Every structure is written in C-alpha cells, then in structure tokens.
Amino acid sequence: MSNTQDHVRWFRDAAPYIKAHRKKTFVVMISDEVIYSERFIGLVHDIALLNHLGIKLVILHGSRSSIDSHLASNNLEAHYHQNIRITDIESLPYVVQAINAVKTHLESQLSTGLPNTPMSGSEIALASGNFVTGMPLGVIDGVDMQHSGKVRYIRHEAIKELLDLNHVVLLSNLGYSRTGEVFNLPTEELAGEVARALRADKLIYIHEGARNGEKQASTLSTADCEALLQQPDTSDDLKSLLHQAKLAIQAQVKRVHLIDQQVDGGLLLELFTRDGYGTMITNLFYEGNRPASIEDIGGIVSLIEPLENSGVLVARSREQMELQIRHFQVIEKDGMIIACIACIPDEEAKVAEIACLAVHQGYQRTGLASQLLQIAEDRALKQGVNRLYTLTTRTSHWFIEHGFNEDRNFEIPAAKRGSYNPKRGSKILLKSLNVL
C-alpha cells in the first residue's frame, strides 16, 4: 500500500475513536521522568491535539525523582516508612520547591506557541488552583508521617466548570488542609481520587517503564490486576499503578491505561488505534465474557449450528468440541451463549488458530466479536504464541480490518492438516501480535 493510502486508511480508522472521545473526561498523570525526558515535547503536541479534539483533560504531574534529587543536592536524607516518603518539617520547603519546579516546567512546556509543529498556532488554556484538600496520613506503626498526606476532598464541581470552558486543568501533588497546612500527596493516588471524583471516562498513567519491560497483556480485568499484585516479581511501581487502577474501575471509571512513554506518540496509538499501545484495564469486556466449560457445549452448538448448516463455519463433531472446549471463550447473556471464539494454540508451530467465531444475530455490530478477538489475542500471548491464523470463506474483510493479512505461502500446521479441507477454498489470513 502506498504511503498516501496508509494515511487515508489510518485517518479513517481513527475516526470512530475521535468521535467516541469527544467531550469525554480524561485524567492523565505524567511522571516527572517523562516530563524531563527528550520525548516530552512530542507528548505536549499530543496533549494540545487532544484538547483541540474536544477531550476534557485534567493533567497531574509526578515529582518523586525531582524531590529525591533536590533533597540530595541540599544534603537532606529521604526517609521512608512502608515505601511512603516521610515529609518532615525540615524537608517540606524543599519538597514544595521541587514540586513547584516540575509544575512550572510543565506549565511552560504546555504554554509554548508550538511553532513549527503540527499544532502550530494553537494555545492551551491552563487552569490550576486549590482543588485538592489534604489531611495528614497520621502516625503509622508509631511513625509520624508529618506532612505526608492523603486526599480529603476534591473540588470536582469547580474542576468540571473549567473543563466545560475547554480549559486544561493542571494539578500538583500538594494538598492544603482547612487549617492552612501543606501536604505532600502521592500523585498516583491523587490521580485515582480525581478520576473517581469526576467519574472520568479514562484514567491514564504515563510513566517511564510503566510496564517494567514486562510482557503484559494489552487488556487486563481487575481480577488480572489482583493476580499480578500477588506475584512477587511485580515491581512496586507497577503494583501501585495496578492498585489505583483497580480502585478507579471499582469506582465507575470506565478504563485505566498504563502507557510507557518509550515510543513517540504512544498516547495517540493507545487512544486512536484498535490495537492500542499500552495496557488497558477495564471490566467492560468481561461482563458475561468468560472461558467456556464443558457445560457450555449445548449453548455453543445452538449458536453455531445454523452457521455450520449454511457452510459459513466448518462443522464440528461433539467429540471434537469436547476436546477443544478449553480453547473457547464465550459471552453469556441471560443464560444464553450469544458469542464464542476458539483460539487453538499449536505450541510446536508457535501459532494459534482463530476458529468458530460467531455472534448471535441479535447482538451483532456491538463490538462483541472485536472483544472476543482481543481476549483471544491476550490468551495466545499468555501461552507464548505471537502469531494467529484463521481460515475463512466469507469473513476475510472483518479479519483484515482487525489486523490480519492474507498469506498464500503459510503452511497449515501439521496437527491441523488432517481436518483441513482445501476444497472449501478458504482464505488463509495471518496476524502477528505486538509484544512490547
């Protein structure tokens, strides 16, 4: 495909996302490592673009590494208890200085006229203020945490008014108490609290190494987060993000995204492409969506029988179904199986076959097949397989639109050859899965 066609296709593919995100509220936390990195200017352009596309943005900045280096350069030691910084009275002025320096740098970057950039001539109206009321963390295990605090209240109505005026709201990790004291708040937690108070559509964490280089699924449920939290090799940074993600989803924030700012444009890829770039945490996909069990065979057969009879799907014997049922994922609604997919790995050939994809007529065109494919992809990755193939007679365009390509040279894995009927004239389509 020519470069021009690539652009046209990309833009058309992005159109549904542009429409879906308009007037939605996104809370974005950016770590200070990212803010001081060379790639940050690209992110500034992308933030300006989101603002121009009508997305309501609240931006919070981290300041952990800046506080550490500011304390060190003033010969002050950082003290922690339970992995939480103790902000004592001596270090407080330096902590506030470091936080304000990050905020000022961020404000200056977001205020550049963006000359010679795709967003040239555009301006971002920033707003900040006393939106966060803090309170002391108090004494933990006999240790007084002093000016390390937690969120007491977010003035969400005031933030909403500014967002409605198309302002980008900028928040630091400082909270002020009713008694006039200043508290240093953990930014990840503050971002989660702000997203919950605003009932935001998305909470986005942009970190250096948010995924810790770990091979991770592109979509996680809160149950997956819980499992990762229990794993001893999950880093403390990732644990803190997963914990906040779980709380946010439980408080009705629809999606949480973890984006590692390793690639220029990672935020845009995550928001405007089907495959995304980071890790999305949501339970939306998982309502009624689960791995199949032997009891589901009857429901799956009722769903696919008409398709088998009309030749859209290859007929499967009951015995074959029983052998393969562990590779099926189903969506159940009101006790009925309304959609299914099979992802059958061939460990020797390091590919998995996508088969038996079907959605009940009454539920088609609501994205269920796309959700099932996404889950099948994640399952394949977890099984160490990063290539999918499918054989299809009538649905090739759907698969092509979901990242598959025709490959006439692909060799059907030996284990499949016995049941492969070349007379059907199926197209063989392949998809490579991105492992970040």
Which residues of the shown chain bind ligand COA in the complex (CB under 6 A)?
Answer: 307, 312-313, 357-359, 364-370, 392, 394-395, 397-398
Burial class for 164, CB neighbours closer than 10 Å (0-12, 13-18, 19+): exposed
Q: Which is nearer to ligand COA, 185 or 351 (CB)?
A: 351
The rounded distance, in Å, linking the Cα atoms of 390 and 6 is 24
Shortest distance in whole angstroms from residue 278 CB to ligand COA: 21
Strand partners, 354: 343
The rounded distance, in Å, linking the Cα atoms of 22 and 53 is 6
Q: Which is nearer to ligand COA, 24 or 274 (CB)?
A: 274
The rounded distance, in Å, linking the Cα atoms of 387 and 353 is 9
Q: Which is nearer to ligand COA, 184 or 392 (CB)?
A: 392
Amino acid (one-letter) located at 121: G
Edge to edge, the sheet with strand 126-127 lists: 126-127, 168-171, 56-61, 25-30, 202-207, 255-260, 279-281, 219-220
> Using CB atoms, what's the residue nearest to ligand COA?
369
Burial class for 165, CB neighbours closer than 10 Å (0-12, 13-18, 19+): exposed
Shortest distance in whole angstroms from residue 240 CB to ligand COA: 34
Give SS3 for 147: coil
Q: Which is nearer to ligand COA, 307 or 436 (CB)?
A: 307
Q: Which is nearer to ligand COA, 31 or 329 (CB)?
A: 329
Shortest distance in whole angstroms from residue 181 CB to ligand COA: 52
Give SS3 for 281: strand
Shortest distance in whole angstroms from residue 288 CB to ligand COA: 14
Contact 258, 247 (CB under 8 A): no
Shortest distance in whole angstroms from residue 331 CB to ligand COA: 9
Q: Which is nearer to ligand COA, 110 or 359 (CB)?
A: 359
Shortest distance in whole angstroms from residue 309 CB to ligand COA: 12
Per-residue exposure over 299-334, b if at least 16 CB sit within 10 Å of its own CB, e if not: bbeebbeebeeeeebbebeeeebeeebebbbbbbee
Q: Which is nearer to ligand COA, 155 or 360 (CB)?
A: 360
Shortest distance in whole angstroms from residue 303 CB to ligand COA: 9
